[in-house]
Amino acid sequence: MNDLLFLVADKDMAEAVAGLLERDQVHRVVGCGPFDFDSRRDIKVAAGQNDPGLYVRANELLRPLTADYRRAVVIVDEEWDGSPGAEAIEQQLRAHLADAGWSADAALALVVCPEADVWLWSDSPHSARALGWPSWSELRPALEGEGWIAPGQAKPDRPKEAAEWALRHCGHKAPRSAALYRQVASRASIKRCEDSALERLLSTLRAWFPREAA
């Protein structure tokens, strides 16, 4: 049986999870014990469903996988047409996980607010470079000048639109692609993490895979 399943709504989130968890010695980076993970096997994208479809029928997609995985994580964005809000989405995802056969202590429902693009943003140089800018010290003033981020604010309120603006104005008009998420997630320091969903994921991994006592 495999250790850990991720069911996500789109390739952007799949690439972010893969970039984070396929780091060398990732358990040391996270601060947990070792666990087995292969993004090609253990990340399932709900193709054709997107966030609303996953909200409605995650249990149907999860059920055939229950016998293959000890633990499961479902990740959905908060922001989409008709979204009932983060709290309601999380409750529904928890119900889907339980209906599919995972106990509460082996399942995690994560809602990313407002959307996956928030994981592109940190004051790490890796975030700036992934968006086509030489450094955060150059990108940040440009974002502030255009009103995408306020002085002292950690991340833009509209992370997707801010990322698209940064890519259009970086000098070579790079396209926004799923590869950006892997690039940032595989390199940015998790110590800079200020996203509540990512913090919950990391703390859950530490609980699920505790470090052995010295």
List domains and CATH numbers for the chain: 2-117+190-208 (3.40.50), 118-181 (no CATH)
The whole-number pLDDT of residue 53 equals 92
What is the average per-residue pLDDT within 127-140? Answer: 85
The whole-number pLDDT of residue 95 equals 98
Q: What is the average pLDDT score of the chain?
A: 87
According to DSSP, the residues that pair with 107 across neighbouring strands are 72
pTM: 0.83
Residue 41's SS3 state is: helix
In this prediction, residue 173 has a pLDDT band, given cuts at 50, 70 and 90, of low
Residue 114 preceded by cis peptide, ω within 30: yes
The whole-number pLDDT of residue 214 equals 45
Number of H helices, E strands in the chain: 10, 4
Taking CA atoms, 9 is separated from 25, 44, 130, 132, 209, in Å, by 27, 9, 22, 26, 25
Taking CA atoms, 125 is separated from 95, 137, 156, 172, 189, in Å, by 39, 9, 16, 18, 10
> H/E element holding 76?
strand 69-77
What is the average per-residue pLDDT within 31-47? Answer: 94
